[in-house]
Structure 1
Amino acid sequence: MQERDIPAVLAIQEESYAAAVLEDEAVIRSRLAACPELAWVAEDAEGVCAYLFAYQSRLGRITPLDGEFEPHAEADCLYLHDLAVARRAGGRGIGPALVRRNLQQAQAARLRYSALVSVQDSAEFWSRQGYRAHDGLEPQQADNLASYPIPALYMVRNLHP
């Protein structure tokens, strides 16, 4: 992802998410600046058609809605914060391809887990990618999960069986 992709990312976010969970341009720019090597876009003939933001974290830590990415010096987990695919590109396997790309980076970095917050009934999609619901969050992390004003589920995938 490059700075020039931000307008397309914002447009895809707006068509993909409920208004209650939209993140503004400053937050999106901050995410790109924090971890540019883990921010990806996919393009088709019309331009950017999907994006994914991620960063290295610790298992059980959740980024609150609109919260800053806090890469962890002793990371064991790739946190996928936001994946969205434009309607015009749906059904082409672009979302899973972006996830696979990030997971390859996580495995190369010897991270043990990947985690995310599933919103908008996306748990089935994430289950197909190997993620499972994860309980037992510390109180602060449960509060971070509760910052999403729509139903949200913390999910984890082991990267090394």
Structure 2
Amino acid sequence: MSIKPIDDNTWAGILSVQSEVYLQVEPETIEVLQSKWRRTPQCCFVYQDKESVLGYLLAHAWDKQAPPKLFKPLPEESGVLNSYLFLHDLAISDKAAGQGIGSKLVSHLISIAKTMGFDEIRLVAVQDSSTFWINMGFSVVDKQSISSTYGEGAKMMRYALQGE
């Protein structure tokens, strides 16, 4: 089992994991997911056992205060310097639950984000996942407007990369 970059052969597995784990939020289309991947492909990867995708992580550079809306492809890059890395999605198959795969993928992203010079990682915690993110070192961002597409109880969170 290992962490590998996303490529054209992993999308069927990614879509399968996504449809398996998202119960409170509708799964996104492949076009939307690939727009995140194309923005910052070095921050998007899968966790595989042989050819089977057990989990994935999609993160991309982002330059706006509000998180991107779900179900919409990212707009073309604005040319503005990206201020942070947005962790769009982390999903682990139920078949691989409890193996620490989510933590491994997040730790891998943190290492890459530091190397790339990002100051912070932000995300929106959905489906009551904020405890996992707090355990990974993220903190809740108060008074941040979040689109209702993220579902009931969604929380903006951040992880500071600089000054550690």
**If the TM-score is normalised by the length of the shorter chain, which range does it land in?**
0.7 to 0.9
Report deviation, 1:19. 5.7
Q: Which residue of 1 aligns with 2:161?
A: 159
Matched, 1:108 2:115: yes
Equivalent of residue 103 in structure 2, options 96, 99, 110: 96
Report deviation, 1:36. 1.8
Q: Root-mean-square deviation (CA), in Å?
A: 1.9
Report deviation, 1:84. 0.3
1:117 aligned counterpart, secondary structure? strand
Q: Which residue of 1 aligns with 2:8?
A: 3
Runs of 4+ in structure 1 deviating by more than 6 angstroms, as ranges, are none
| Counterparts of 1:106 and 1:145, CA distance in 2 | 25
8 Å contact kept, 2:37–2:60: no
Measured at CA, do residues 9 and 146 of structure 1 come closer, stay the same or move farther in structure 2, by a change above 3 Å? same
| Counterparts of 1:103 and 1:59, CA distance in 2 | 20
2:147 aligned counterpart, secondary structure? helix
Report deviation, 1:44. 1.4
Structure 2 counterpart of 1:154, one-letter code: M
Q: Which residue of 2 aligns with 1:83?
A: 90
User: CA deviation digits over 1:58-99, x for unaligned, max 9?
Assistant: 473301111333567422311100000111111111111111
Report deviation, 1:45. 4.1
Percentage of pairs with the same residue: 28
1:62 aligned counterpart, secondary structure? coil
Q: How do 1:110-125 residues align onto structure 2 when only pairs under 5 Å count?
A: 110-125=117-132
The structure with the largest helix share of the pair is: 1
| Counterparts of 1:74 and 1:84, CA distance in 2 | 28
* Structure 2: unaligned runs, 5 residues or longer: 1-5
2:155 aligned counterpart, secondary structure? strand
Report deviation, 1:15. 0.9
Q: TM-score, normalised by structure 2?
A: 0.85
2:25 aligned counterpart, secondary structure? helix
Structure 2 counterpart of 1:40, one-letter code: F
Q: Which residue of 1 aligns with 2:151?
A: 149
